[in-house]
Amino acid sequence: MAFIDYYQILGIDKTATPKVIKDAYRKLARKYHPDLNPNNQDAKANFQQINEANEVLSDPEKRKKYDQYGNDWQHANEFEQQKQQQAQSSRSQSGGFSGGQNAGDFSDFFESMFGGNAGGRSRQAKYRGEDYTTEIHLQLLEAYKTHKQTLTVNGRDIRITIPAGVENGQIIKIAGHGGPGTNGGPNGDLYITFSVANHSSFKRLGDNLFATIDLDIYTAVLGGEITVDTLNGKVKLKVKPETQNGTKVNLKGKGFPVYKNEGRFGDLQITYAIKVPTNLTDKQKALFEELRQTKV
Amino acid sequence: MKTKYLIAIDDFCANHHIDVSFISSLQKTGLIEITTIEESGFIEADQLLLLEKYVRFYYEMDINLEGIETVTYLLQKINSLQHEIGTLNNRLRLYESE
């Protein structure tokens, strides 16, 4: 556990007045506060450091203790215990952030020096609990069907229903499953981000699927019937004579389920990739040559 | 008919130790909506998160009302750009082999 220089974090001198500390803190908070940096984990980590530095330096007692022991902070508690036998100290209030998702986490250094609950403010206001975020990783086929899944968030098991059609990067909110509120305030919410991996032969865009199907030259020229795979089984397709390479065919309702719209599906678009035969026999070459001679 | 959960502005202000005039100012700028019932002001519960965020901006980060308006606009823009990036990434996967 390394010593943390709170003055350096706030970019101030050791002689800084409370006003200088407050101004430095506010300036950095305006830069790194999670409210102003949505989905930015780096900013959140920075803000936690700034908040912790302010927590110590804006409180005269904590600042005194921090200044007094400095690098010897590891022995601070032993000295303090001796002192406490002589006198009781009271906790003072100072202005720091209270807000939902930000104030809770302190470094091991802080916990060791000031104790686990030292970050708490004595204001009796009701605060909404912290919002939690988590990720669920799914395969494309799992996202194709509505299913239930159990998540463990902060030690609690939560069983959720994942509707078919959920999209990669989509975020859903489970109200009231975040951190508990303080002083009777409401619980926070749980935000789940879905990461949908696709290792199938289909490409997905929203509710529509895309696939490229190899087509032999004979079927392309003369027409015929082929069987293609969809996520919902196989389907037979009629291929028109003289089908060109890159021809697209739209299979209505054979795509991905529409999110929270049961029974509705997007389309599957098939692109034909015509394959020219290789390793021809002499006879086949002769037949193609014959064809060439008939070319109009 | 959907039930609306309302929070009395006076209670909110007392709990957060803030001035009622701040909420009125937010309403005037259009940042929140206030429902008035029998001369008492209420906010809908789904605006609570937003309101608490504005309280942090104003009282804890020292951002004035004009600043809050600007920040709110820019945050909406960030949100919409992040959404667009997500959509574009998904679209990009159409052209990339995995």
A225 lies in the same domain as A189:
no
Per residue of chain A (296 residues), what is the pLDDT tens digit?
A: 678 899 999 999 999 999 999 999 999 999 999 889 887 888 888 998 999 999 999 999 989 988 887 666 556 666 666 665 554 443 333 344 444 444 456 777 777 677 655 554 444 455 677 788 888 999 999 999 999 999 888 788 889 999 999 999 899 999 888 888 776 777 888 999 999 999 999 999 999 999 999 999 999 999 999 999 999 899 999 999 999 999 999 999 999 999 999 999 999 999 999 999 999 999 999 999 999 999 75
Residue A127 domain-assigned (yes or no): no
CA B40, CA B12: separation in Å to the nearest integer? 13
Q: CB–CB of A14/A42 below 8 Å?
A: no
- Find out if CATH 1.10.1660 is the number for domain B6-92: yes
Identify residues of B whose CB sits under 8 angstroms from chain A CBs: 15-17, 48-49, 52-53, 56-57, 60-63, 71, 75, 78-79, 82, 86, 89-91, 93-94, 98
**What is the reported pLDDT for B90?**
82
What pairing do the DSSP bridges indicate for beta strands B6-8 and B40-44? antiparallel
CA distance B39 to chain A (A): 25
Residue A122 domain-assigned (yes or no): no
Q: What is the ipTM of this complex?
A: 0.78
Q: What is the CATH number of the domain that holds A140?
A: 2.60.260.20
Q: Do B61 and A30 touch (CB under 8 A)?
A: yes
Number of domains in chain A: 3
A58 lies in the same domain as A86:
yes
A41 by Cβ neighbours in 10 Å (0-12 / 13-18 / 19+) ranks as exposed
Of A38, A123, A204, the CB nearest to B78: A38
Q: What is the CATH number of the domain that holds A13?
A: 1.10.287.110
Distances (CA, A) of A259 to A71, A173, A186, A215: 57, 15, 29, 33
- What is the extent of the structural domain holding A68? 6-114
Q: What is the pLDDT of residues B42-80, one digit of tens each?
A: 999 888 889 999 999 999 899 999 999 999 999 999 989
A65 lies in the same domain as A140:
no
Q: Do A35 and B53 touch (CB under 8 A)?
A: yes
A193 lies in the same domain as A258:
no
A68 lies in the same domain as A159:
no
CA B31, CA A23: separation in Å to the nearest integer? 26
Residue corresponding to tokens 């004035």: B64
A110 lies in the same domain as A14:
yes
Q: Do B90 and A205 touch (CB under 8 A)?
A: yes
Distance of CA A100 to the CA centre of its chain: 19
**What is the reported pLDDT for A114?**
72
Q: Do A38 and B82 touch (CB under 8 A)?
A: yes
Which of chain B's residues have a Cβ under 8 Å away from the Cβ of A204? Answer: 90, 93-94
CA A61, CA A18: separation in Å to the nearest integer? 13
